[in-house]
């Protein structure tokens, strides 16, 4: 099939996806979170995983590995796809397709990043942090599910009051 035959047309009823990756690294009973820099346009002063955009000519897994290195200085080869999230970006026909990974690292020493400050947080204390809004639901799911389970398939949208709505595809 030729590149021109991929069937890409602009439609307000179908998403054109912006691929992103989000990674949560574990060490013992802790998870590595990035507290967004106060000057960030989105998620300023909120805790999130590390990650970002997938670059042109890059696959999803390579993007996740690159983002981990860029934002933490850690090298991690053992990443597991845990969720695929389709985010309604609020613009007709535009969506974010986010691949969420977890991984383990033997290292704890991180390097600084312009994105914000890195913190190893005990999983038992996640509910005490100012997290990006979906993480109050997503992180407990990720921290307890077996790596052998298939990924979660999720859709994020916002209701009339601008409240996040999380839909999970049924399994099986």
* 46 domain residue, yes or no: yes
* 3 domain residue, yes or no: no
* 4 domain residue, yes or no: no
* 10 domain residue, yes or no: no
Instruction: Please give the average pLDDT of every successive group of 10 residues along the chain, which has 172 residues.
Output: 53 78 96 90 90 95 96 90 93 89 94 89 96 96 92 95 94 71
* 1 domain residue, yes or no: no
pLDDT at residue 4 in the model: 52
Cβ distance 112 to 86 under 8 Å? no
Domain span at residue 154?
A: 15-168
Q: What is the pTM of this model?
A: 0.91
The CATH number assigned to the domain holding 73 equals 3.90.79.10
| Residue-by-residue DSSP string for the chain | --GGGG-----TTSPEEEEEEEEEEEETTEEEEEEE-TT-SSSTT-EE-EEEEPPTT--HHHHHHHHHHHHH------EEEEEEEEEE-SSTTEEEEEEEEEEE-S------BTTEEEEEEEGGGGGGS-B-TTHHHHHHHHHHS-TTSPPEEEEEEE-TT--EEEEEPPP-
* 34 domain residue, yes or no: yes
* 5 domain residue, yes or no: no
* 2 domain residue, yes or no: no
pLDDT at residue 115 in the model: 83
pLDDT at residue 70 in the model: 94
In the chain, the number of structural domains is 1
């Amino acid at each position: 099939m030729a590149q021109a035959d991929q069937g890409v047309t602009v439609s307000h009823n179908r998403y054109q996806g912006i691929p992103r990756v989000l990674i949560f690294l574990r060490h013992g009973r802790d998870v590595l979170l990035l507290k967004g820099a106060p000057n960030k346009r989105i998620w300023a002063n909120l805790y999130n995983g590390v990650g970002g955009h997938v670059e042109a000519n890059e696959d999803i897994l390579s993007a996740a590995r690159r983002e981990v290195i860029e934002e933490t200085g850690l090298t991690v080869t053992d990443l597991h796809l845990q969720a695929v999230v389709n985010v309604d970006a609020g613009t007709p026909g535009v969506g974010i397709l986010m691949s969420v990974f977890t991984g383990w690292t033997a290292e704890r020493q991180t390097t600084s990043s312009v994105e914000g400050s890195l913190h190893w947080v005990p999983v038992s204390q996640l509910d005490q942090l100012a997290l990006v809004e979906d993480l109050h639901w997503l992180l407990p799911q990720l921290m307890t599910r077996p790596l052998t389970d298939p990924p979660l398939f999720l859709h994020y949208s916002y209701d009339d009051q601008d409240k996040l709505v999380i839909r999970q595809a049924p399994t099986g």
